[in-house]
Amino acid sequence: MDEIMIRAKQLNKTFTIKKGKQVTALKALDLTVKKGVLTAIIGPDGAGKTTFMRLVAGLMKPTGGKLTVLGLDSVSGAEEIQTRISYMPQKFGLYEDLTVMENMNLYADLHGVPQDSRPSRFRKLLTMMGLERFTGRLAGKLSGGMKQKLGLACTLVRSPELLLLDEPTVGVDPLSRKELWEIVQQFVREENLSVLVSTAYMNEAALCSHVYVLNKGELLADGTPDALCQIAAGRCFSFPPPQGEPTRVLQAHLIDDTEHIVDAVPRGGKVHFILQEHVTNVPYLDAHGIKAEPVAPTLEDGFMVLLHKAETESLPVSREEEEILDKGGRPGKEVNIIVKNLVRKFGDFTAVANTSFEVHRGEIFGLLGPNGAGKTTTFKMLCGLLPATSGVLSVAGVNLRTARTQARANVGYVAQKFSLYSNMSVMANLEFFGGIYGLPPKRLKERIQDVVSKFYLSDRLDMKAGSLPGGYKQRLSMACALLHEPKILFLDEPTSGIDPLTRRNFWRRITTLAAMGTTIIITTHFMEEAEYCDRFMIQDNGHLLAIGSPAEIRERLHMEGADMDNIFMTIVEQAREKGEEPK
């Protein structure tokens, strides 16, 4: 008999926001987690993943239904549950002014890990996490991915009976992500650990034995990853783009055709798409004489079909946007950003070493790299938020840092972390950012109307920005950055922790923007998103490892058709092997 670790029966959870208004977070949820396996919850924003995790951890009381964890009632047995399980919240509460070691010791002490078993356990964890060199470093000084790993290390200081991971890999690079999952899997194997994980990465969910798909608090489907893949069986196709045509433009054409197509995405240098039910041919492809090959479905495909069935709001694309696509789509000749021999040092530490590249008008340029590679530093220098130690830096003809204020009007910036005013309404935020960019009142009004309709914000204009669901927040950040129609748009990990559906919508907007001539610099941890880029570069330890278009880089590595995660890891690992000795 399989032992049941978590059993939820008809579980309900509603929140009362002011004036008696209620929001349903979970509706009649039935869910079981078995011992010794990995179970995943996937679902778009607001599906109720975090709420469920918190209910299991005894941090919230269910409104209705029954929830037993380790055979205990989640309310009356909360104290004991909390003693026996480990939980890693989405934002793990590391003490930033404590060192790596001190953080781990704190959790080991709290969990009562005996002193004598600590050295070996810690060594194992630190090695696995790649943190052994940083034990004395303050947690606040670690990069985002390393923080996440340290959070996991703190959660795993002892072997719990049940491990809850709430989106553990948000903002973590593919390399670390892979390592992190290997660690979790290893613990499952070696210590018979039971794990419940929520994630936005479908390829991670595919590693689990059982997957629950949630949407708006309701269970859409559950099963093994294979079973869920089969939902899209027979409807998945792909084709390579004709010479010279950006993949993303074709993908955009397909995804716009909601009548025939559920989903389209650039993948492995090709355009991958799912047909609607009972549809056999796509008019756009027929018209252009493109033949698509059937391919095996992935979990992501199954997920997209499920969401589509549940009629999740897929944000429609306007006629206007479709037309823009027909006109442009190819980057211009004009050079918009010049970086030459850029160096940035913090004390003895070189964050960015001698980096040079150029970005053209209307180009989508990706900055990729493991956590701590120097992406954010490069990014901040480009935006003028950080002075360069040496080198030439020119954005739209000026160095933003030293340029007169007005030069910054050409630039839009979306920060990594949601950084709008949480206690102001959506409208007030828009008015504020439009205002400081100096839009005249009439123009501001028009622009707000425009972005509100483009980013589908009209139904929440009076809501406080801080209480928006994640997808809305991300759209609002974009809307604010685009109010003044910048020539260049900087996006720092805009898709971190965002589900595939929202990301499709996001990239569709980016495609339009690029087609209209906006230059876009973007960092991301979803390597497949590099497929949308015209060109991208990979950094590690401050050094530039590779730069070029996805096709060029594939060719250089002789890895045609390989997915981006693989390409990325190959490049970084090769460079690390070669460059062990410092330059």
Nearer to other proteins, 54 or 309 (CB): 54
Q: What would the DSSP string read from start to end of 205-271?
A: HTTSSEEEEEETTEEEEEE-HHHHHGGGTT-EEEEPPPTT--HHHHHHHHHH-TTTEEEEEEETTEE
Q: Does 408 participate in binding other proteins (rule CB under 8 A)?
A: yes
CA angle 244, 245, 250 (to 5 degrees): 165
472 makes contact with other proteins (CB under 8 A)? no
**Residue 181 contacts other proteins per CB under 8 A:** no
Q: Which stretches within 516-563 are classed as H helix?
A: 550-557
Q: Please tell me whether residue 51 adopts helix, strand or coil conformation.
A: helix
Q: Examine residue 76 and tell whether it contacts other proteins (CB under 8 A).
A: no
DSSP run (H or E) holding 291: none
**Interacting residue with other proteins among 64, 71, 93, 579 (CB under 8 A):** 93
Give φ, ψ of 41 to 5 degrees: -115, 125
Instruction: Check: CB of residue 488 under 8 Å from CB of residue 403.
Output: no
In the complex, what is the shortest distance from the CB of residue 233 to other proteins, in angstroms, rounded to a whole number?
39
User: Which one of 188-196, 307-315, 408-416, 523-531 is the stretch in contact with other proteins (CB under 8 A)?
Assistant: 408-416
Verify binding: residue 522, other proteins, rule CB under 8 A.
Answer: no
Closer CB to other proteins, residue 2 or residue 79?
Answer: 79
What x/- string results for residues 332 through 371 when contact with other proteins is judged by CB under 8 A?
--------------x-------------------------
Helices 144-155 and 100-111, packing angle to 10 deg? 20
Stretch that binds other proteins, among 424-432, 500-508, 530-538, 554-562 (CB under 8 A): 424-432
Listed ranges 63-71, 95-103, 125-133, 291-299: which one lies at the site for other proteins (CB under 8 A): 95-103
Three-class DSSP labels, 456-478: CCHHHCCCEHHHCCHHHHHHHHH
Burial class (CB in 10 A: 0-12, 13-18, 19+), 566: middle
- Per rule CB under 8 A, is residue 413 in the interface with other proteins? yes
The dihedrals phi and psi of 239, each to the nearest 5 degrees, come to: -150, 150
Taking the complex as a whole, the smallest distance from the CB of residue 425 to other proteins amounts, in Å, to 8
Looking at the DSSP bridge assignments, the partners of residue 392 are: 340
Size of the site for other proteins (CB under 8 A): 70
Q: Residues 435 to 454: which contact other proteins by CB under 8 A? A: 435-438, 440
Whole-number Å distance between alpha carbons of 513 and 508? 9
By beta-carbon proximity to other proteins, the closer residue of 71 and 346 is 346
Residue 240: Cβ within 10 Å count: 18
Smallest distance, other proteins to C-beta of residue 89, A: 5
Q: Considering only the stretches 82-90, 169-177, 285-293, 552-560, report the one whose residues sit in contact with other proteins under the rule CB under 8 A.
A: 82-90
- Let me know the angle formed at the C-alpha of 524 by 523 and 527, rounded to the nearest 5 degrees: 130
Q: Which is nearer to other proteins, 62 or 302 (CB)?
A: 62
- Does 500 sit near other proteins (CB under 8 A)? no
Site residues for other proteins per CB under 8 A:
15, 54, 57-61, 78-79, 82-83, 85-89, 91-95, 97-98, 102, 105-107, 109-112, 138, 151, 154-155, 164, 346, 383-386, 400, 405-409, 411, 413, 415, 417-425, 428, 431-433, 435-438, 440, 480, 490
